[in-house]
Structure 1
Amino acid sequence: MRETRRTHSPAGPREPCWSLPCRPADARRTVERVVAERCRNRAIPCDDDALDDVLLVTSELATNAILHGGGITGFDVDVDISGVRVSVSDGSDDIPVAEAPVDERGRNRLGGRGWPIVCLLARDVSVAGLPRGGKRITAVVPLG
């Protein structure tokens, strides 16, 4: 059984931000609520450590959309037996890249840790271009 919570349809026009999670904290609360509903119904086995991983991935995707993509333009959460699928869309066509933690002079870089964290914690990660421009990044994090 699969449950989908969609706050924005990628096929339709962009909706105002108040219908989407505008901040990473909003996105985390949405994911927490959806996962809690499924765990409460005992339809999906849930592990607290796995939920922490899902929330961290959600934060990183939302933060990256805001910092590098011009803001969150779409947000989806799907929960099924394979885990939690979080999709975050933004207006940038740029593909995320992992940067070295130090620059060419050996100085520590600020930031740049989010994408490697997403790739480490998620079982599957995909980046898809959107028909009207921008991209959707989807990460699947197992729940148990």
Structure 2
Amino acid sequence: MREEHTTEPVAEPPGAARAAPPAGYRPCDVRQAVQRAVSERCRATHTPCDTDALADALLVASELTTNAILHGGGVTDVRVDVTGPGIRVSVSDRSDELPVAVPEAERRRGRRPGGHGWPIVCRLARDIRVADLPAGGKCITAEVPLS
């Protein structure tokens, strides 16, 4: 079911943008890369940016990065691609483990703190793909609509 992750998009329509955060890969760096890519797209296409859609994309970027840090052994790569009507955020980490949602009953009983990030990503993203990386680890790509 898993596929190899490619880091280059096959084709980019006019107005597509790509941004990469600095090598630190902190959630704030990834959010800045998303903000920059979306802003550049809006300027290039002379269209206003949907602030609610941008907020969703920023939250997804932050959650994917935080999850890679907390559960994936650290972030190894990040890609931000604005293509067509959405933004793709790809975060790679060192773990082969698939993300899981913590059951609500477990969260309520206090057995496990957190557990909200993956359900947030699943709710806000239009498409989510998890791919094995050739050298180990995985890449999670989430596409968030921008309109």
TM-score, length of structure 2 as denominator length? 0.82
The 1:122/1:135 distance shift into structure 2, 3 A limit, reads same
- Could you tell me which runs of 5 or more consecutive residues in structure 2 were left unpaired when the two chains were aligned: 1-12
Superposed CA offset, 1:74-110 (max 9, x none): 1001101220000000000000011112329x61341
1:21 deviation in Å? 4.2
- Could you tell me which runs of 5 or more consecutive residues in structure 1 were left unpaired when the two chains were aligned: 8-18
**Equivalence for 1:15:** none
**Equivalent-residue separation in structure 2 for 1:82 and 1:41 (angstroms):** 14
Secondary structure in 2 aligned to 1:34?
A: helix
Is residue 3 of structure 1 aligned with residue 6 of structure 2?
A: no
1:34 deviation in Å? 1.1
What residue identity is the alignment partner of 2:79? D
Count of residues in Structure 1 that have an aligned counterpart in Structure 2 = 132
- Structure 1 stretch 35-44 or stretch 48-57: which is displaced more? 35-44
1:43 deviation in Å? 5.5
1:29 deviation in Å? 0.7
Secondary structure in 2 aligned to 1:78?
A: strand
The 1:22/1:56 distance shift into structure 2, 3 A limit, reads same
Q: Identity of counterpart residues, as a percentage?
A: 58
Superposed CA offset, 1:48-95 (max 9, x none): 000000000000000000000111101001101220000000000000
The 1:115/1:41 distance shift into structure 2, 3 A limit, reads same
**Equivalence for 2:92:** 89
1:20 deviation in Å? 2.3
Q: 1:66 aligns with which of 65, 69, 74?
A: 69
Kindly report structure 1 stretches of 4+ aligned residues shifted beyond 6 Å: none
